[in-house]
Amino acid sequence: MPYLFTSESVSEGHPDKIADQISDALLDHFLAFDPESKVACETLVTTGQVVLAGEVKSNTYVDLQQIARETINQIGYTKGEYRFSGDSCGVISLIHEQSPDILQGVERIQKELQGAGDQGMMFGYATRETDNFMPLALDLSHRILRELAALRREAADMPYLRPDAKAQVTLEYSDDHQPLRIDSIVVSTQHDPFHPEDAVMLAKIKEDVIRILIPRVKAALPPRIQALFGSDITYHINPTGKFVIGGPHGDTGLTGRKIIVDTYGGKGAHGGGAFSGKDPSKVDRSAAYAARHAAKNLVAAGVADEVLIQVSYAIGVAEPTSVTINTHGTSRVPLSDGQISEKVKELFDMRPAFIEKRLKLRNPIYLETAAYGHMGREPRWEDKVYESPYSGRVETRVELFTWEKLDAVDAVKQAFNL
């Protein structure tokens, strides 16, 4: 019997995502001037206020307040009427030095012996459902909000848009787990006040979402996904009514509260650790990226149609305590999931220092991850410039989303005789 599955995404202007972006902007600045920085930075945003807290060990000093303000303005909170603006909000910093008790378990004279920055389990997932090997419902939710943000910045077809927004997509699946159609789409978007009637406002937003936004999203998709957009989709557009009060004025935001949005939308699994604000010695982040990299290359190579990888660590210990594969019965090779796991351990070195080196994680590459998902993104090179009144100017060229590269497919095929 067919069944339904739902995933959601939130925009860059959502309060929790503002907090994630500030935390990762701070991290990038520390890494730009000192690649060996150890950072665990949390952010809280609320009406007119930003609070920064956490631990840092670095040989550089950055202007935390200025970075936070610039990030907020780039997102689009630039008007006093939003009750939260990069130019006027208060910024309080409670950041202090990293605990030496934690540091002693991470730093080693021999880099390859670097221990994990914490215990825990991390997951990576990939599926053939989309061209970027991501779950379809989440991929569509991200696409809807990226396109909505583009419309907001263009300020032409939907000039009333404000930064805060959420989207949700429900798919109907067949018994053999193939997407059949889009059952419903939910979009809640912050907007300017409308006059004179709320009913007119709501009708206008719903019309524009269905007539302008969704066709732009659909046009960028491959034909097999476009075919899922039938005439029977149920749309819930701003279902609670008007949405003028939003952002940190409407809801307090915290770093790390959107971990399912950041990963696989509820498909696969999640170990519970957040990403943003953490340097790559924290395996919550780096091992999750490494597990995604391995899962994606396994699926792309044809080992299975769906792969879930769990990797776990003990704090201060370099070797993982476990690496486990689950193909959910979709394996295309004559091996058990346990046997596949043994080969994966040989193919992908999951020690923290080797993950950092393989995926180039000691670079300022993290702000771009902090909205619209850390996984399923397009790898690319980007030139960046960082300036500090204390440390001067850094110009660097970095590679973003290295864990999304299909650079191990040939090695996987050889290992599995594909």
The structure tokens 């149609």 sit at 305
Band of the pLDDT at 154, cuts 50, 70, 90? very high
Quick: pLDDT tens for 223-235: 999 999 999 999 9
197-205: long-range contacts (C-beta < 8 A, 24 or more apart)? 198/241, 198/242, 201/242, 202/237, 202/238, 202/241, 202/242, 205/160, 205/237, 205/238
Q: Quick one: CATH architecture of 120-128+280-415? A: 2-Layer Sandwich (3.30)
Q: What is the pLDDT of residue 198?
A: 76
Residue 195 has pLDDT above 80, yes or no: no
- Going from N- to C-terminal start, the domains of the chain cover 3-9+136-246, 120-128+280-415
Pick out the residues of the known binding site for L-methionine: 55, 98, 251, 282
User: From the centroid of its chain, how far is CA 344?
Assistant: 24
Quick: pLDDT tens for 21-71: 999 999 999 999 999 999 999 999 999 999 999 999 999 989 999 999 999
Tell me which of 103 and 405 has the higher pLDDT: 405
Residue 103 has pLDDT above 70, yes or no: no
Pick out the residues of the known binding site for K(+): 42
Q: What is the pLDDT of residue 107?
A: 59
Return the amino acid letter for 136. L
Pick out the residues of the known binding site for ATP: 14, 164-166, 242-243, 251, 257-258, 274, 278
Q: What is the pLDDT of residue 115?
A: 72
Band of the pLDDT at 267, cuts 50, 70, 90? very high
Asked if 3-9+136-246 and 120-128+280-415 have one fold, the answer is yes
Dist. CA 25–CA 394, nearest whole Å: 15
Q: What is the pLDDT of residue 389?
A: 84
- The residues, any chain, with a CB within 8 Å of residue 415's CB and separated by 6 or more, are 343, 346, 347
8 Å CB contact between 114 and 315: no
- 151-160, 189-198, 202-211, 299-308: range with lowest mean pLDDT: 189-198
Band of the pLDDT at 112, cuts 50, 70, 90? low
Dist. CA 365–CA 377, nearest whole Å: 13
Which of 2, 110, 407, 43 minimizes the C-alpha distance to 257? 43
Which class would CATH give 3-9+136-246?
A: alpha beta
Mean pLDDT of 85-89: 92
pTM, whole model, 2 decimals? 0.95
Helix axis angle, 337-347 to 283-301, nearest 10°: 110
8 Å CB contact between 105 and 289: no
Q: How many CB atoms lie within 10 A of CB 415?
A: 18
Q: What is the pLDDT of residue 109?
A: 53
Mean pLDDT of 4-24: 98
Q: What is the pLDDT of residue 200?
A: 84
Average pLDDT for the chain: 94
Band of the pLDDT at 110, cuts 50, 70, 90? low
Q: What is the pLDDT of residue 116?
A: 80
- The fraction of the chain above a pLDDT of 90, given in percent, is 86
Q: Which residues pair with 396 in a beta bridge?
A: 384
Mean pLDDT of 388-417: 95
E-only strand ranges, 218-275:
234-237, 253-254
Band of the pLDDT at 101, cuts 50, 70, 90? very low
Mean pLDDT of 189-217: 90
Quick: pLDDT tens for 361-395: 999 999 999 999 999 999 999 999 999 888 889 99
- The residues, any chain, with a CB within 8 Å of residue 7's CB and separated by 6 or more, are 135, 137, 138, 141, 168, 169, 260, 265, 266, 267
Q: How many CB atoms lie within 10 A of CB 55?
A: 16
Pick out the residues of the known binding site: 14, 16, 42, 55, 98, 164-166, 242-243, 251, 257-258, 274, 278, 282
Coil/strand/helix, residue 83: coil
Pick out the residues of the known binding site for Mg(2+): 16
